[in-house]
Structure 1
Amino acid sequence: MMSLKSALAKPFAKRVCKKIQKWANNPVETQQNVFEDLIANAAGTEFGKDHDFISIDNYEDFVKRVPVRDYEALKPYVEKVVAGQDNILWKGKPIYFAKTSGTTSGSKYIPITKESMPTHVEAARNAILMYIHETGNAKFVDGKMIFLQGSPILNEQNGVQLGRLSGIVAHYVPKYLQKNRLPSWETNCIEDWETKVDAIVEETLPENMTIISGIPSWVQMYFEKLQQKTGKKVGDIFKNFNLFIFGGVNYEPYRAKFENLIGRKVDSIELYPASEGFFAFQDKQHEKGMLLQLNSGIFYEFIKADEFFNENPKRITIKDVAIGVNYVMIISTNAGLWAYNIGDTVEFTSTKPYRVIVSGRIKHFISAFGEHVIAKEVEQAMQEATLNTTIRVSEFTVAPQINPEEGLPYHEWFIEFENEPKNLSALARKIDESLQKQNSYYFDLIVGKVLQPLKITRVKKGGFQDYMKSVGKLGGQNKIPRLSNDRKIVEGFPHDN
């Protein structure tokens, strides 16, 4: 028997789908409208005046007046907003700051405005509605849904609420889903991640769970605890669980493990949310890539990744992108970010409509668990740990170990020593402490027992050189990345343990 709620979901999904198709089928015009709207709305702001928005008539004018910036370069403006001044980057004041761990500057404060907030919420909702429309499956709206996310407790900074994005979004769950959603508010507010997951297991076990959603590494921990407690596969515990929604990291390394934990295949929807905007979601079950959100108050520019560090790289708009090219994505938004480099690289899988996959970061990094560790951090950690010691390191690289034979996942450091440490585990501890100090995401994952502290694998003398030789990259400008988000490189060279 179909319930009223699932019966109503289908026509609603159809209506939303029509709306989405309208702008997706007119991509260039849609982006032009967003562009004009952004410039007009921000002409009177401090940033708009500094960059002569009043005289911007077209995209070429914008490129001339507004350089590409990252957070560091935009920081002088952001600091004024954080200090409580209005009309700086966008009209008025933001309603929230999404606090994220900065890669070079401690915490970053990303403004969210009353114009940009709805787009964060609608995109996630629309992803589910597009799925209903495509598959005809709406039964799950009667079951319980879980969104594994950060604490919804917010602080205040000069009259503006401040928190993690997932915690802010928790305040916007639509009324018709309130009864269906788990965990409870109290459980969601638990700060310690392991305690929180235990509480979530207790709360969800007796329920009819139909949708499970979160960053894969977090969900994996939840699934493992369910299995430990019951001795059953997740798919047997929750017979009607048929939809997994995820975002934040590459799912591929987890896929096999998840199917094993669940015990059967379930449909999945990939999302591409960030504090700076909700950029894309998977709109079709059997198409590769996620539909780029062209009608969400975000104007997109793209720069070829391999030209990005050139003197004056060419910026292009949606109409000039090509499939299969690695681009750095640049955004201007109704939250007041202008020609802003979020650091992600994307590749188009389709241009009718425009679909993307996230291909990585413009700088090498590890974020297999959402930790955003960058080269500068691992280098500094190594430097601090070996300072005033006799330890000398020839070369090293870092890779995530997602599926260890036992225990929690970890970062594996492959190190070739010129002069060995007496105590390898003491060195590992020192490096790990330094990394936790530098990177609050990594610290949270260690403290919350999502990751265990890093482990060192010794590489035999000359091992790195042998590897570079074997891939034809010995000498010259070629160097091994300090870290990578997968294990492709480290599978290639001989270890010495």
Structure 2
Amino acid sequence: MGLINSILTWVMKQRIHQIELFIKYPDEVQDELFRKLVYDARFTEFGQRFNYSSITSYEDYRNRVPVHTYENLYPYIQRLMRGEQNLLWPTEIKWFSKSSGTTNASSKFIPVSQEALEDCHFKGGKDLLSIYVNNFPDTTVFDGKGLAVGGSHQINEFDPSASSYYGDVSAVIMKNLPHWAQFIRTPSLETALMGNWEEKIEKMAAETAAVNVTNIAGVPTWTVLLIQKIMELQGKPITEIWPNLEVFFHGAVAFAPYRALFKSLIPSDKMRYWETYNASEGFFGIQDQKDSEELLLMLDYGIFYEFIPVEELENENPKALRLDEVQLEKNYAMVITTNAGLWRYNIGDTVKFTSRNPYRIKISGRTKHFINAFGEEVIVENAERAITQACEETGAVIDNFTAAPVYLAEGKKGRHEWIIEFKVEPSNLETFSKVLDHTLRSVNSDYDAKRKHDMALIEPIVHVVEEGTFYNWMKRRGKLGGQNKVPRLSNSRDYVDDILKMMAEV
């Protein structure tokens, strides 16, 4: 173990005591944070609109300030992008995180304050390392460098007179990292911020192959492409190229469907996989136990949390719950108030609590990323469990998938239609489809009820597409790299029909 590794490991462990404090006093930490956020923003345009100066309790806040979507806040964000200030947050906003999202095709621009950078995004990155080294004290992760598979967009100006910039959240973070953090990461900043994904992956592969990479952070989909490109260029396995690689810090999409693929690419017993929950809007959770992928909800990052039971989302004024009001294994839409001026903002993700002491969560899906054409209410968590089980029973290794309903037609019943790209195809596609269907029935009683006796739904149809299909589809949509993700489920057939149309054109 080298000197730098020893020093940085010791430094990272010092944060553990503070993490233990918010674990022990979660309600007090969140209460104090709530009061500070409202107080700090009382003279902003938004704060004056809702008279923040007179808010004395959470009940005041909940009753006075409605839950907001991106569309609700966009008029403020648009003005911020043009250079106006003190609208949503009192300090200067000059950075915006560009998010394509998975609920629609338009881009979203999330304001990023200096407080959000330092107290949330940077802090989350450091805490990820702190928690990891606390779990693995003999790690040599700092003897080498961390490979960041980040945003594929360049940092661009909205308006030269406004001095405002945007990029994928990973690009915004990398552009603003302190010098010590730049020292322990790769590739070069110039390469990391390249805009053309295909050129970028070639350059990243060439630049990082000779680096002693000990850890990787990124989205599974794009990380796989980079590893494959490096092995192609070097003509040898990744375990020989990076013999000291020990951990992949992953997020953005569920990892279970990708686990077999990563094990085939990195066949090393010492390789570890560690989950995070970070997004354009903030850094929310970190896996804190080596034997569980549940995520510790990080409570001192300048984010105040509320949770809406998903069954209440259709109500005109759904009641949000405080952290101390949530129940285990219940599906909630997550609502955040942040130190970048997102006020009671529904981020579009759904979570379930697996523990209340401490507060641990798992991501269950998206509020608009589901199939409910026949009352089956299939969410992403259901789909990923079914896909994983079907792969395990048929020896398949999946690359990507999406699914949508086939709606009822005269003389025909409804069903679900899946488009799946495999790295290793199943031993028997019919068996794969049956396991997929059976698992969905076992984990979702609503789906099971609709499938019973083929009453409302018949068995799903599965299309197997050639390798590269999803990559080419994302490229055609201008969605390569970074935070862009293949939409897993949709109540609309737009994605499925578009892919089928592209396949027919080939």
Residue in 2 aligned with 1:101? Answer: 100
- Superposition deviation, residue 36 in structure 1: 0.1
- Superposition deviation, residue 442 in structure 1: 4.4
Q: Partners in 2 of 1:72 and 1:47 — Cα distance? A: 15
- 444, 453, 466: which one pairs with 2:479? 444
Structure 1 unmatched runs, 5+: 383-392, 407-431, 455-478, 487-497
Aligned letter for 1:120? Answer: H
Q: Partners in 2 of 1:224 and 1:330 — Cα distance? A: 38
Residue in 1 aligned with 2:272? Answer: 267
SS in 2 for 1:178: helix
Residue in 2 aligned with 1:403? Answer: 422
- Superposition deviation, residue 290 in structure 1: 1.2
Q: Give CA deviations for 1:340-399 in whole Å, capped at 9, x if unaligned.
A: 101000111211111111110011259999999998xx99xx9xxxxxxxxxx9978564
SS in 1 for 2:289: coil
Q: Partners in 2 of 1:272 and 1:39 — Cα distance? A: 25
User: More displaced, 4-13 or 65-74?
Assistant: 4-13
Distance 1:75 1:441, change over 3 A: farther
Distance 1:240 1:348, change over 3 A: same
Distance 1:183 1:134, change over 3 A: same
- 236, 245, 257: which one pairs with 1:241? 245
- Superposition deviation, residue 283 in structure 1: 1.8
Residue in 1 aligned with 2:360? Answer: 355
Distance 1:259 1:485, change over 3 A: farther
Structure 2 unmatched runs, 5+: 372-379, 385-397, 426-469, 497-506
Aligned letter for 2:24? Answer: N
Residue in 2 aligned with 1:293? Answer: 298
Distance 1:279 1:399, change over 3 A: farther
Distance 1:171 1:441, change over 3 A: farther
Aligned letter for 2:116? Answer: S
- Superposition deviation, residue 404 in structure 1: 4.8
Q: Partners in 1 of 2:475 and 2:341 — Cα distance? A: 25
Q: Partners in 2 of 1:188 and 1:239 — Cα distance? A: 23
Distance 1:86 1:195, change over 3 A: closer
Q: CA RMSD in A?
A: 3.8
Q: Partners in 2 of 1:254 and 1:105 — Cα distance? A: 25
Residue in 2 aligned with 1:280? Answer: 285
After TM superposition, list the pairs within 5 Å mapping 1:38-117 onto structure 2: 38-101=37-100, 103-104=103-104, 106-117=106-117
Q: Give CA deviations for 1:157-182 in whole Å, capped at 9, x if unaligned.
A: 32222222111111233433433321
The count of residues paired between Structure 1 and Structure 2 equals 419
Q: Give CA deviations for 1:47-89 in whole Å, capped at 9, x if unaligned.
A: 1111121111111111110111100122222222223222111
- Superposition deviation, residue 276 in structure 1: 1.0
SS in 2 for 1:288: strand
- Superposition deviation, residue 139 in structure 1: 1.3
- Superposition deviation, residue 448 in structure 1: 13
Distance 1:167 1:216, change over 3 A: same
Distance 1:394 1:441, change over 3 A: farther
SS in 2 for 1:282: strand
Q: Partners in 1 of 2:173 and 2:490 — Cα distance? A: 39
Residue in 2 aligned with 1:329? Answer: 334
Q: Partners in 2 of 1:178 and 1:76 — Cα distance? A: 35
| Alpha carbons 1:289, 1:356 under 8 Å: kept | yes
Aligned letter for 2:254? Answer: N
Distance 1:316 1:114, change over 3 A: same
Residue in 1 aligned with 2:196? Answer: 192
Q: Partners in 2 of 1:124 and 1:25 — Cα distance? A: 22
SS in 1 for 2:109: strand
Q: Give CA deviations for 1:127-175 in whole Å, capped at 9, x if unaligned.
A: 1111112210331201122101114732223222222211111123343
After TM superposition, list the pairs within 5 Å mapping 1:407-446 onto structure 2: 442-445=477-480
Q: Partners in 2 of 1:320 and 1:440 — Cα distance? A: 43
Residue in 1 aligned with 2:133? Answer: 132
Structure 1 residue 156 and structure 2 residue 157: aligned?
yes
Aligned letter for 1:243? Answer: V
Residue in 2 aligned with 1:422? Answer: none
- Superposition deviation, residue 446 in structure 1: 9.3
- Superposition deviation, residue 115 in structure 1: 1.4
Q: Partners in 2 of 1:152 and 1:7 — Cα distance? A: 35
Distance 1:285 1:485, change over 3 A: farther
- Superposition deviation, residue 228 in structure 1: 3.0
Q: Partners in 1 of 2:476 and 2:115 — Cα distance? A: 28
SS in 2 for 1:63: helix
User: More displaced, 189-198 or 47-56?
Assistant: 189-198
Q: Partners in 1 of 2:133 and 2:66 — Cα distance? A: 41
Q: Normalization by structure 2: what TM-score?
A: 0.74
Q: Partners in 2 of 1:485 and 1:403 — Cα distance? A: 18
| Alpha carbons 1:152, 1:170 under 8 Å: kept | no
| Alpha carbons 2:97, 2:110 under 8 Å: kept | yes
Distance 1:156 1:230, change over 3 A: closer
| Alpha carbons 1:85, 1:93 under 8 Å: kept | no
| Alpha carbons 1:398, 1:483 under 8 Å: kept | no
Aligned letter for 2:277? Answer: Y
